Amino acid sequence: MEGVRAETVIRRNPRVVFRSLEDGTGVLLHLDSTAYHGVNRVGALIWSLLETSPTFETLVERVRGRLADPPTNVDEDVAEFISDMGSRDLVRFGDQNDP
């Protein structure tokens, strides 16, 4: 969970748009780089949960609560996904005091 702490606030990059697909997956488009990024159902769920800019801890709790049978290491999976999204400039990290 390198770089992502429980109290880290995760915000969507406002220059990214999301399109939900019929099968529950989705596509993210970074408007500056014009790169498309496909996400599976859990990735689409995480993106939807980022609407409120939760802390990492809150995000993991919400993901765990939405999955029928969450894996025991769901926090590690979410951290890896979020870190990857950060490296692609799809999300931004901050704290509660950041605008």
Beta bridge partners of 91: 12
| DSSP secondary structure letter of residue 24 | S
Paired tokens of 50: 């980022």
What angle in degrees, to the nearest 10, is found between the helix axes of 41-49 and 74-87? 80
State how far the Cα of 17 lies from the Cα of 30, in Å rounded to an integer. Answer: 7
Domain boundaries, the chain: 9-90
State how far the Cα of 87 lies from the Cα of 4, in Å rounded to an integer. Answer: 12
Higher pLDDT, 3 or 76: 76
pLDDT at 97: 67
Domain 9-90 has CATH 3.90.930: yes
pLDDT at 60: 97
With cut-offs at 50, 70 and 90, classify the pLDDT of residue 1.
very low
| pTM (predicted TM-score) | 0.91
